[in-house]
Chain A
Amino acid sequence: MDSFLGNLELGFTVALSLQNVALCFAGCLIGTLVGILPGVGPIATIAILLPLTFQVDPTGALIMLAGIYYGAQYGGSTTAILVNIPGEATSVVTTLDGHQMARQGRAGIALGIAAIGSFFAGTVATLVIAALGAPLTKLALIFGPAEYFSLMVLGLAFAVVLARGSILKAGAVIFVGLLLSTVGTDLQTGDERLTLGLIDLMDGIDFAVLAMGLFGFAEILRNLDNPETRDVVQAKIGRLLPGKEEFKQSYKPVLRGTILGGILGILPGNGAVLGPFASYTLEKKLAKDPSRFGKGAIEGVAGPESANNAGAQTAFIPLLTLGIPPNAVMALMVGAMTIHGIIPGPQVMTKTPDLFWGMIASMWLGNLMLLIINLPLIGVWVRLLKVPYRLMFPAILLFCCIGIYSINNHAGDVLLTAFFGFAGYAFYKFGFEPAPLLLGFVLGKLMEEKLRQALILSRGDFATFVTSPVSAGLLLVAFVVIVIAVLPSVRRGREEAFQE
């Protein structure tokens, strides 16, 4: 305990130097501003802003980069709530209820609870990293391909529960997502699959391309379709901050989301993606009246947003203690660290303790900054909704296109997004939900990879998924989740199933 407090003290001494506080603030602010542009997620933001950090010492640079990361992450949630465009996989869930709240004139409340929930989750996750970072690393190592595959199966089970309407339709949509995830170069043989000979599809479909099309572009088509409803939304702008009642509804989801997201964030191979989905599923199951979900339930924003931020934070554990980046953003952080002459690995903690603990302390500071930056900004964001839609939609389209182009600097990606925009519009017209599709898409890639790795390692023996206790346990939970989701609808008969 002594060393723990001593370490934190060292960390805060480093993080609270005038220069580092300023860098942290600058990172969070720039990250938020760039991240709020639809289509510009944390990866693109960090890549664009990386050169800004070249003139600073390594610790300061990393503090700033981490700030940009949280800022972009949070900015992504803002776009999800305001204009129904998830910047990345983890904010897909936020669109479900967050955007509905915005449509009801409660955008400020949704943004406020997202900021407060994120701050709480960030604080807890920072403490967890500081206290338990090193031992928790072992958790990441238990997870081999077989365990990871089973975790993804559990994730797909969540996707079924996510669906607002028919389970059959949700299932169909998930399969389309899985199918889309198989487009691209085969992992093992290097052959092209389902690419139609198009070079743009050789590396598969980028998540942002799919999400921006299905949500962003499709949403615009939808709104242009019936301008009346859009104007109604603009007329009402309610309170800017959540009140007592909202806090009472939210604090438990925030707590649960923090725990779920924190645990999943440590896992290798982007476990953090599952956090918000898992939290949403849990809240919907625990709610007295699950039918409110998808229609602006505050728990559906509070829980997933907390899970998102907790996971974003604990994802640093494998990076800082093992030097292994668990996802694409962290891989970029590794690159940023190497540019500054620090090669992340097990020695960072002992060799450069001021950097290690300074960064951890700055995580908390960054979360505080986000709260300070974002609470006053909520008023500005909400007022954005008042901008006439005829001015708003070309701007959204433009920023989306810039954002998509900036991911890989490929013009083909923009065209592909337009295609998915029309697909998303058709989905809407036929009453299919795009959210489960995105989850299927994200999980599909990982599932295929892990399934094949596990089977290659077991020489084709499927028993590998049950001989490992962790894997067997996860599969069992997945089975239970599906049974719980399907059983009541089976009992109540098809009629009601279509409504739940």
Chain B
Amino acid sequence: MKRTFAAFALAAATVVAASSASAQNYPTRPITMVVPFAAGGPTDVIARIVGEHMSKTLGQQIVIENVAGAGGTTGTTRAAHAAPDGYTIMMGHMGTHGAAPALYPKLRYDPAKDFAPIGMAAGTPILIVARKDYPAKNLQEFVARLKTEQDKANEAHAGVGSVSFTTCTMFNVMNGIKPTRVPYTGTGPVINDMIGGKVDYACDQIVNLVTQIQGGNIKAYAIATPERSPALPDVPTTKEAGLPNYQVSAWNAVFAPKGTPQAIVDKLNDALVKALDDAGTKKRLLDLGGVLPTGEERTSAWLGQYVQQEVARWTPILKAGGITAE
């Protein structure tokens, strides 16, 4: 809280001193990018890779500040209430800017109204995976079997509100499956127990799973993107496998607080797009299994309407899944 206040005080001083002329010189000091998750996670990794190149374009360092907690909503709340001067931005996420309103009824920000969207950074595709000896040859058999097994099947997730939780809720609701859901704290233990054969299936981001699938420790039934991933060319898309409506990615996008001057938004969007066009940065993101935005998807206006779309999509699914965090 104190920090926010200090940021406000500082911002007020800056505004008085330079007013709107500041947008032209922007940025004149380092920029803080709030990452609402712990250092080392997929969102943090993407923020650091993109941020490094954006720093070069902007001529000022982008400093990553990890403010983890409450499924990412703590850091997002802080960024929403920061001074709209372009010096505090954040890496938002499918959870914080899509699923959160349904999961956290007491949310202190509105993903659509409290932010000035900058642009999409990268999404990581979601995979449906199972223990390696699960008796189903393809996705259709798998779904059919889960439907008959219902709560006899064990689905593992990385905690209420995590990507694996929300995306698998969608998978379950869509197929009318009510499995026994086993909560873990993070993806690592989920994979550990899946390799050990203790749980049946899970949904999660490709970056957490890719080496385990390549190594044959677990098996993947489908990838929830329109096209196959170069990292896993043998894994069919959900469309190919007969579940075309299951399209979901853990997207990460840059946001600034509402009220940030348009000139600054444009500068940040330009830096972001340049980062995504850079061959080195692009390769690093693709190596992670990342899906990068193209054409119109790179504009800030597109991100604005995408957030609305995501909130509208997740709310009924998570309500049907029957869990909200207080």
Contact = CB atoms under 8 A, between A and B. Distances in A.
B137 interface: no
Interface stretch (A102-110, A138-146, A285-293): A138-146
A190 B324 contact: yes
A223 interface: no
B51 to A, nearest CB: 10
Contacts of A412: 1
B211 A323 contact: yes
Contact of A456 (B52, B70, B180, B215): B180
Contacts of B215: 345-347
Given A50-B39, A188-B160, A269-B189, A203 B287 contact: no
Contacts of A328: 38
A252 interface: no
A411 interface: yes
A334 B185 contact: no
A462 interface: no
Contact of A324 (B45, B66, B192, B198): B192
B182 A457 contact: yes
B22 interface: no
Nearest to B156: A453
A335 B3 contact: no
B188 A326 contact: yes
B326 A408 contact: no
A409 B67 contact: yes
Interface stretch (A31-39, A123-131, A336-344): A336-344
Interface in B16-56: 38-42, 44-45, 48-49, 52
A203 B288 CA distance: 29
B94 interface: no
A85 B196 CA distance: 38
B161 interface: yes
Interface in A21-62: 43, 46-47, 50-51, 54
A170 interface: no
B244 interface: no
A203 B160 contact: no
B212 interface: yes
Contacts of B42: 338
Given A145-B193, A189-B323, A202 B69 contact: yes
B249 to A, nearest CB: 17
Contacts of A457: 154, 180, 182, 198-199
B196 A345 contact: no
A335 B45 contact: yes
A141 B39 CA distance: 26
Nearest to A331: B40
B161 A190 contact: yes
Given A203-B70, A331-B188, A456-B182, A144 B326 contact: no
A382 B181 CA distance: 53
Given A333-B40, A457-B154, A457-B198, A343 B70 contact: no
Interface string A167-188: 0000000000000000001111
B198 A47 contact: no
Contact of B44 (A325, A335, A341): A335
Nearest to B159: A187
B177 interface: no
B211 A453 contact: no
Nearest to B52: A54
A346 B212 contact: yes
Given A203-B69, A331-B40, A408-B68, A449 B196 contact: no
A268 interface: yes
B69 A410 contact: yes
Interface in B207-221: 207, 210-212, 214-215, 217
A334 B40 contact: yes
Given A141-B195, A190-B323, A322-B195, A408 B67 contact: yes
A189 B45 CA distance: 29
Nearest to B198: A144
Residues of A in contact with B, size category? 35 or more
Interface in A327-366: 328, 331-336, 338-339, 341, 343-348
B96 to A, nearest CB: 15
Contacts of B44: 335
Interface in A294-331: 318, 322-326, 328, 331
Contacts of A326: 188
Interface in B273-321: 284, 287-288
Contact of A346 (B67, B69, B196, B217): B217
Interface in B160-203: 160-161, 180-186, 188-189, 191-193, 195-196, 198-199
Contacts of A323: 191, 211-212
B263 interface: no
A192 interface: yes
B288 A338 contact: yes
B40 A324 contact: no
Contacts of A348: 211
Interface string B109-137: 00000000000000000000000000000
Contact of B211 (A46, A332, A343, A409): A343
B192 A268 contact: yes
B270 interface: no
A95 B262 CA distance: 55
A459 B214 CA distance: 32
B67 A189 contact: no
A145 B39 contact: no
Contacts of A143: 196
B325 A141 contact: no
17 contacts: A46-B39, A47-B39, A141-B192, A187-B185, A188-B160, A192-B326, A268-B189, A322-B217, A323-B212, A339-B284, A341-B287, A347-B214, A449-B183, A452-B183, A456-B183, A457-B180, A457-B198
Given A51-B64, A189-B160, A336-B40, 14 more contacts: A54-B52, A142-B196, A185-B160, A192-B326, A322-B192, A323-B211, A324-B195, A338-B288, A343-B211, A343-B288, A453-B184, A456-B154, A456-B180, A459-B180
Interface of A: 43, 46-47, 50-51, 54, 140-145, 185-192, 199, 202-203, 268-269, 318, 322-326, 328, 331-336, 338-339, 341, 343-348, 408-412, 449, 452-453, 456-457, 459
Interface of B: 1-3, 38-42, 44-45, 48-49, 52, 64-70, 74, 103, 154, 159-161, 180-186, 188-189, 191-193, 195-196, 198-199, 207, 210-212, 214-215, 217, 284, 287-288, 323-326
Closest 8 CB pairs of A and B: A345-B211, A335-B40, A190-B160, A190-B325, A346-B215, A332-B40, A47-B39, A141-B196
